[in-house]
Structure 1
Amino acid sequence: MNRSMLRQKLLLASAAGALAAGAALFWSHGKSAANAFVPPAEDICVVTPARVTEAHAYDPASGLTMYDARPIPADARCPVCGMYPARYPRWAAQIIFEDGAAHFFDSPVDLFMFLEAPERFGTTRTAAEARAIYVADYRSGAWLSAREAVFVIDSAARGPMRGPDLPAFADAAAAGAFAAAQGGRALRYEEVDSTLIAGLRDANHAHHMH
């Protein structure tokens, strides 16, 4: 075998080895990616009119009843802004619909925006289909019924969108203590009206929504 043919065979063998190694790496990555989703390091609000975030189906094997508050899946995205609510346990919210499927939100502002006009976010679900609505207690992260929670408006606290939001508390005393320290005033669920939502929407989403 002359030197030219030997060199050609060596090059072919080297290329085949590299291809096999690359395939193994790709398979290994794909397998691990399927096992555990990790959100990207930069969590950016991106609202695209054509994007529709699917609700997460109820899992009977979870040990929870259909309308219990549930842990936020790591890959769940807010249907309003596209962020990952699991990153913001003190601000997160969720709606569970009559079929047990759930939408998760990065903050109460986006929760209320969705309830006011779900169709704006590409879903066929309606607010009337909501069977349970939860918000996270700002202090503990525990789930609270949104209809029983007390919110604070106009405080110094900034939500995941880096703008004014509605931190939630289990009772008026906790909300009042927070307002005394951070400013603002307490509101009940039914006091969060369309005018207030519009102001918060503009403060948080002015550069993203159309």
Structure 2
Amino acid sequence: MQTYPSVRSGTADLVRTFMARTYSWMAAGLALTAGVAYLTAQNETLAMQVMALRLPLILAQLALVFVLSMFAQRLSSAVAGMLFIGYAALTGLTFSALLFAYSPTAVITAFATTAGTFGLMSVAGFVIKKDLSAMGRFFMFAVLGLIVAMIVNLFVASSALTLGISIVGVLVFAGLTAYDTQMLRNLALSGVTGEQAERAAINGALALYLDFINMFLFILRLFGGSRD
């Protein structure tokens, strides 16, 4: 009986270490994205070049996410880390356009709102007792539905549909934040360690990073007044 507290303490330490490593990777990715976006926007020549290469850059982003997601168990943590950093940098390049499309106040307000919402939902996902794993399929279909709706809106250009998509998008990625956090906590509780833990932390950071930036984009569309 006397070993139980130490076992629980050891497990808590593993979870704390794993989650801290995951959020460290995520924070580094967000900081890199913000830094690259800001520096690119300050250089008009570079910003114009990025705009001209926007489609290839977006395709490169999708390719990196695909490789990280599909080959997560085969990549070393070093390679996975470099791919994640590369993805964050590419996202910064494409996000530089947001600093021209929206006012600085709108971007800062949307980022602060996203950070607060993300933090609350991540805490909820970590402490909530109810198993959220059954919601994974729902979120997958919800994201697919959002993609279809956004493609349709490219042709109909409906302001009402844009508003609806933005509201649903915020709710979906807020829910995904709680879901992904709980999945990562459960993974840590399974006792993952060493190289496997580092690789899992990087891939977990990617999932949370994607939740954050997608929520940010939808919130920016909701509250941000775009420039003409």
What range is the shorter-chain TM-score in?
Answer: under 0.3
Larger radius of gyration: 1
Task: Tell me the TM-score normalized by structure 1.
Answer: 0.26
Q: Which has the higher contact order (CA 8 A, sep 6+)?
A: 2
Q: Greater helix share, 1 or 2?
A: 2
Q: Greater strand share, 1 or 2?
A: 1
